[in-house]
Amino acid sequence: MDDIRHRLPDKPERFMDLLRHHMRQSGLAYRTEQTYTHWIKRFIHFHKLQHPKTLGAREIEKYLNYLADQRDCSVNTQKLVLNALMYLFQKFLGIEIEGLEFTPARQFRRLPVVYSRSEITAILDKLHGVYRLQVLLLYGSGLRSAELLALRVKDIDFGSRNIVVRSGKGNRDRTTMLPEGLEPELRQQIRQVSLLHEQDLLAGFGEVYLPDALSRKHPAAARELGWQFLFPSSQIGRDPRSGVRRRHHMHPTTLTRQVRRAVRAAGVHKPARTHAFRHSFATHLLEAGYDLRTIQELLGHSDISTTEIYTHVVNRGSKGVLSPADRLTQLDPGIRSPAPHYQRTG
């Protein structure tokens, strides 16, 4: 249950509790809260547990330089750390930080891992049941793994053939496509969730975690089928915030393990990552002729430059770009690569 906000004391006194309370009052997404507090803790430990009130621009510069020069972090990581520290000093402590001078991290452009259609077919052949359905949704709808697992029954709209993604990256809602061919499997999955929910209710459970505002306004919604997770955990667990025993969604490592095994069994010699199916979704849409703006909206990217990375991995063969070597072969079919010559040993 690492995506549920942990409960804070009613009257927080410790520094990190006060900081978390301030972040929640400011409306930061929980993932942002987790990321910011992680880097702020590392910043404080880097400066030998000095209180941030005694630190300033010079110490920020020193830490950012350390990340770039000695930790070889990416430029995005360095920017993220800077944002976290600016929140700490300027918004939480009320200390203005100006004129920072630090070594920018090196900009690396790493292309995303993309599976071909034949590779995806081979991987799916090694998956069964709910795991196969989950991977089909990752690939067929372009979902992130966290978005997939956070889906509730009510987020599947068969009428409009949409999937509603709530509080995605950047704490934004969006809709993406519901693959028509998955409707029977999704309806069966919802029936399974309904049966499990009825069993939980009979056993004295049946409540599910709700966002703070909704749990206060409509507490009864926690027991409704529509709010149950589409991919529930196999076990009842204790909510770390309230202590209530509930059924949360499946843990992300469960799907990760299944994907790793399937990729290996399928003989695909690429990194086994759940996020690669989202990359494949975008790349294959681009190959099919869909425009970047449409793909950007489906993926939920706030900046189209993020979506443009897929133009570097798209299969140009389907776009009419012919390799010069292939053109030689077309002009003279007799031209072929020579057979490899192996020298006999022993």
**Tens digits of per-residue pLDDT, 20-60?**
999 988 988 888 999 999 999 999 999 999 999 999 999 99
Model confidence at 140: pLDDT above 70:
yes
**Residue 340 pLDDT:** 55
On whether both 153 and 282 belong to a single domain, the answer is yes
Model confidence at 205: pLDDT above 70:
yes
Determine whether 278 is an active site residue.
Answer: yes
Marked catalytic residue, from 21, 31, 62, 169 = 169
> 123: domain range?
109-319
Q: Tell me how many domains the chain contains.
A: 2
**Residue 339 pLDDT:** 53
Choose between 307 and 169: higher pLDDT: 307
**Residue 66 pLDDT:** 94
Q: What's the token pair of residue 181?
A: 């061919």
Determine whether 144 is an active site residue.
Answer: yes
Whether 123 is covered by a domain: the verdict is yes
On whether both 158 and 86 belong to a single domain, the answer is no
On whether both 146 and 20 belong to a single domain, the answer is no
Domain ends where: 92, 122, 143? 92
**Residue 327 pLDDT:** 67
Marked catalytic residue, from 20, 126, 144, 247 = 144
Across the chain, the runs of DSSP E, i.e. the strands, are 156-157, 162-165, 174-177, 237-238, 245-246
Question: Do 206 and 327 form a contact (C-beta atoms < 8 A)?
Answer: no
Q: Nearest-CA neighbor of 101 among 67, 61, 69, 70?
A: 61
| Mean pLDDT (whole number) for 243-267 | 93
Distance separating alpha carbons of residues 134 and 209, to the nearest angstrom: 21
Model confidence at 259: pLDDT above 90:
yes
On whether both 87 and 116 belong to a single domain, the answer is no
Question: Do 93 and 52 form a contact (C-beta atoms < 8 A)?
Answer: yes
Model confidence at 318: pLDDT above 60:
no
Model confidence at 218: pLDDT above 60:
yes
| Mean pLDDT (whole number) for 65-81 | 90
On whether both 174 and 25 belong to a single domain, the answer is no
**Residue 71 pLDDT:** 87
Domain ends where: 27, 58, 92? 92
Marked catalytic residue, from 247, 249, 278, 284 = 278
Determine whether 269 is an active site residue.
Answer: no
Residue 217: band (very low, low, confident or very high) from pLDDT cuts 50, 70, 90: confident
Model confidence at 330: pLDDT above 80:
no
Whether 166 is covered by a domain: the verdict is yes
On whether both 76 and 116 belong to a single domain, the answer is no
Query: In a 10 Å sphere around its CB, with 0-12 CB exposed, 13-18 middle and 19+ buried, how is residue 23 labelled?
Result: buried
Contacts of 285 by beta carbon, 8 Å cutoff, 6+ apart:
294, 295, 298
Q: Nearest-CA neighbor of 255 among 270, 236, 274?
A: 274
Model confidence at 184: pLDDT above 60:
yes
Question: Do 247 and 225 form a contact (C-beta atoms < 8 A)?
Answer: no
Distance separating alpha carbons of residues 108 and 75, to the nearest angstrom: 8
Model confidence at 240: pLDDT above 70:
no
On whether both 168 and 243 belong to a single domain, the answer is yes
Model confidence at 2: pLDDT above 60:
no
Whether 330 is covered by a domain: the verdict is no
CATH number at residue 49: 1.10.150.130
Question: Do 283 and 116 form a contact (C-beta atoms < 8 A)?
Answer: no
Q: What's the token pair of residue 329?
A: 């072969």
On whether both 208 and 308 belong to a single domain, the answer is yes
Distance separating alpha carbons of residues 23 and 242, to the nearest angstrom: 19
Determine whether 47 is an active site residue.
Answer: no
**Residue 41 pLDDT:** 97
Distance separating alpha carbons of residues 291 and 294, to the nearest angstrom: 6
Residues recorded for the chain: 346
Residue 252: band (very low, low, confident or very high) from pLDDT cuts 50, 70, 90: very high
On whether both 143 and 290 belong to a single domain, the answer is yes
| Mean pLDDT (whole number) for 300-315 | 85
Average pLDDT of the residues of the chain: 88
**Residue 343 pLDDT:** 56
Per-residue DSSP letters for 53-105?
A: GG--HHHHHHHHHHHHHTS---HHHHHHHHHHHHIIIIIIS---------PPP
Q: What's the token pair of residue 230?
A: 């589409």
| Mean pLDDT (whole number) for 287-306 | 90
Question: Do 113 and 273 form a contact (C-beta atoms < 8 A)?
Answer: yes
Whether 10 is covered by a domain: the verdict is no
Determine whether 63 is an active site residue.
Answer: no
On whether both 86 and 125 belong to a single domain, the answer is no
On whether both 117 and 81 belong to a single domain, the answer is no
Q: Please give the distance of CA 323 from its chain centroid, rounded to a whole number.
A: 35
**Residue 334 pLDDT:** 60
Q: What's the token pair of residue 228?
A: 């149950």
**Which of the 8 DSSP states describes residue 259?**
H
Determine whether 91 is an active site residue.
Answer: no
On whether both 192 and 309 belong to a single domain, the answer is yes
CATH number at residue 217: 1.10.443.10
Domain ends where: 60, 92, 124? 92
Model confidence at 346: pLDDT above 50:
no
